[in-house]
Structure 1
């Protein structure tokens, strides 16, 4: 977690993002005070935790959620808001490393997180500015060839809503000369992530679920029942779900779970939001109002908000530390894509940490018979975290096959441990970024 995020956590505040400035629900939940009991205690009120808690409450479980700061404080309330299918490693890589059976199992779930989001928005009437369509933009010929292969790969798993756009065609979607072409996923989309997670939290509460903010886990006692302690109280629960991701154990007074720290690394990405653009200018940038991410190793991503702000993010800071000036890092990226925006004011700048694994695949598993975890989405958390919530609901009701398809994937520690993970990852990123620049 960045030092900035630590200070916000200490103050009990959200990051100063455009999402916070435009969030629908400003209510603050009480901290845990005293002892409560539950069927399931969930640690973390982000996408993973709230998705799991909502699935469990729908099944009739008594659920308590403990959040160290505020609902959606971490990556779930700060991310790019893009609904991108699949995982950070696609099925061909999964098959090559882990076999056809694992690839088939994960491939059958690769588009499910997207559907879960849309089901939740419709079922609970969540106001989160949901819009359709996302684009993968190729910066060179090599990347464009890879997009064609990507389209064919996803078709093998039944996903036929991809449209390949050549050098002239893509300009109907993106008003930039930067690209060689693009792949349009008609089933993808974008939304306001903080309003999405808050809307699901309200749905959980409507079903009897309880959420305590400002209640970090200070101790986890394994047993039957398990006991989760906070500075103000404790929860006795038959089952525990750990869903803290990059922010687990990182704030003041929080309990870390060493077993979950060894094979992951927090990384931060930065975003800016421009002043509202007039309609003609906004439509010149993104005529169909879809979201975009490019195909570089250190990718850029952007979209328009409901008030026509351009939300633009990019890059990775390994170890989760913020740059001295987010605007100084991101504005040049924005201008490389849209040089005509040189006069545009930046109204908001923020960062958010996500958790990266060495193989870039999510980590699902059990610490023992009644403590489960899901984390490490490596940049694909919007959809995959919602899938994780459903699978946690399944495994707790005794249906473990799909959860175990992920849990069976081996995860190695970063070479040199966390001490050397940051410089080694940065060196690797520099190498791949150079290849992207050279188009090789």
Structure 2
């Protein structure tokens, strides 16, 4: 399997291809999945001197890590005040202390390994109603309490200076947020793993895992024997490999387009300061400019990760509602990809067996959370599990309705929240 026909694949940096696994190899740690969770885990561990083998079923960055909107969004899919209400003050304290760390890890990786991935600082949460604006005012106060003082509340005049659209009543600018080319970030991290002695095998789908001492991870062409195993496949992990992970998550699809390159004047009129944007709706839209002045626009969710027949037809009405001045603009790329949703919208960190770790379910905050996850998994594997356990201790329930009804019931719930957004209540 190769990358989908996306803007990211078309503009990926030159990079080496990694071999297919053939024969038997041994290592300290076997990582299953070549997206951000697996890459982050492998890089932290190779930096610490561990012998790491990473197995990727397709190519590095094949899944959500190489297809997403490219936005570095801080915190979690649930606000820290909700976390405190649900899980208590101690959980909120621990998770709050980490809510901006994922973005810092990304910046460190880019600087340390000179990764060329079009990094641009600044992300905006855009409000479409007075209710959403009140939420952003509260969010600013909470985030400042946890140490982010790089925030600017935007009134209607301020948001018009940032976005060339009449839709928004205000917003919150986070200068510790950012946007970037996610596939090039993934490829740069993979190269850093190689430089530290890690081994990456592409086109090496795992066919089975046998727990023991050592653990045995098999592919069509070979076998890895390892002291530790990390499951990092997220929405692209084959369910039969570890049913305990599949039972409490739901794959979902998101769609993205990129326009043809825009003139400098037109691009500047849309996003004068080149910040990325996501709105505050439950089913949110997100957009930004690419390095070559295309508008990249995504939005909506397809529950159950079905592949839409016409991505462009789904996205064009959303884009034109935001930027009617782009009527007639050509779309050069349109693609979809899957992310993994949990019922609580909080990530699932797990110890499955002795020496076997897993993380999944970023619920839309994958770029930053996956990088934090890699650090926490590496800490736990090395014997310091306090921060890993702060996540692993969170309860996770299965979606209602079982495997047959979880998709329609989730879609009905989402439709209710989308109606509230439209009504501004």
Q: Which residue of 1 aligns with 2:369?
A: 384
Unaligned runs of 5+ in 1: 1-11
Q: Which residue of 2 aligns with 1:4?
A: none
1:111-153 superposed Cα distances (whole Å, 9 cap, x missing partner): 0000000000000000000000000000111101111011011
Q: Which residue of 1 aligns with 2:300?
A: 315
Q: Which residue of 2 aligns with 1:7?
A: none
User: What secondary structure is seen at the aligned counterpart in 2 of 1:146?
Assistant: helix
Q: Which residue of 2 aligns with 1:60?
A: 49
Say if 1:127 and 1:196, in contact at 8 Å, map to a contact too: yes
Question: Is 1:411 aligned to residue 396 of structure 2?
Answer: yes
- Report the aligned-residue RMSD: 0.7
TM-superposed deviation, 1:156:
1.5
User: What secondary structure is seen at the aligned counterpart in 2 of 1:377?
Assistant: coil
Q: Which residue of 2 aligns with 1:420?
A: 405
- Mapped to 1, the partners of 2:14 and 2:81 lie a distance apart of 41
Give the counterpart of 2:383 among 371, 393, 398.
398
Say if 2:254 and 2:336, in contact at 8 Å, map to a contact too: yes
Q: Which residue of 2 aligns with 1:132?
A: 121
Q: Which residue of 2 aligns with 1:271?
A: 256
Question: Is 1:107 aligned to residue 107 of structure 2?
Answer: no
For these two proteins, the number of residue pairs brought into alignment is 425
Question: Is 1:238 aligned to residue 227 of structure 2?
Answer: yes
User: What secondary structure is seen at the aligned counterpart in 1 of 2:418?
Assistant: helix
Q: Which residue of 2 aligns with 1:16?
A: 5
Q: Which residue of 2 aligns with 1:190?
A: 179
Question: Is 1:249 aligned to residue 238 of structure 2?
Answer: yes
- Mapped to 1, the partners of 2:382 and 2:262 lie a distance apart of 49
TM-superposed deviation, 1:25:
2.9
Which aligned pairs between 1:12-51 and structure 2 lie closer than 5 A? 12-51=1-40
TM-superposed deviation, 1:394:
0.3
* TM-score of the two chains, using structure 1 as the length reference: 0.96
Q: Which residue of 2 aligns with 1:146?
A: 135
Which aligned pairs between 1:89-104 and structure 2 lie closer than 5 A? 89-104=78-93
Q: Which residue of 2 aligns with 1:209?
A: 198
TM-superposed deviation, 1:224:
1.1
TM-superposed deviation, 1:240:
0.4
Give the counterpart of 2:150 among 153, 161, 168.
161
Runs of 4 or more above 6 Å deviation: none
Say if 2:15 and 2:187, in contact at 8 Å, map to a contact too: no
User: What secondary structure is seen at the aligned counterpart in 2 of 1:393?
Assistant: helix
- Mapped to 1, the partners of 2:215 and 2:18 lie a distance apart of 24
Say if 1:221 and 1:227, in contact at 8 Å, map to a contact too: yes
Q: Which residue of 2 aligns with 1:9?
A: none
Say if 2:259 and 2:329, in contact at 8 Å, map to a contact too: yes
Q: Which residue of 1 aligns with 2:319?
A: 334
- Mapped to 1, the partners of 2:328 and 2:151 lie a distance apart of 35
User: What secondary structure is seen at the aligned counterpart in 2 of 1:218?
Assistant: strand
User: What secondary structure is seen at the aligned counterpart in 2 of 1:404?
Assistant: helix
- Mapped to 2, the partners of 1:397 and 1:48 lie a distance apart of 17
Question: Is 1:120 aligned to residue 109 of structure 2?
Answer: yes
Q: Which residue of 2 aligns with 1:434?
A: 419
Question: Is 1:363 aligned to residue 352 of structure 2?
Answer: no
TM-superposed deviation, 1:171:
1.2
User: What secondary structure is seen at the aligned counterpart in 2 of 1:311?
Assistant: strand
1:281-331 superposed Cα distances (whole Å, 9 cap, x missing partner): 000000000000000000000000000000000000000012210000000
TM-superposed deviation, 1:26:
4.6
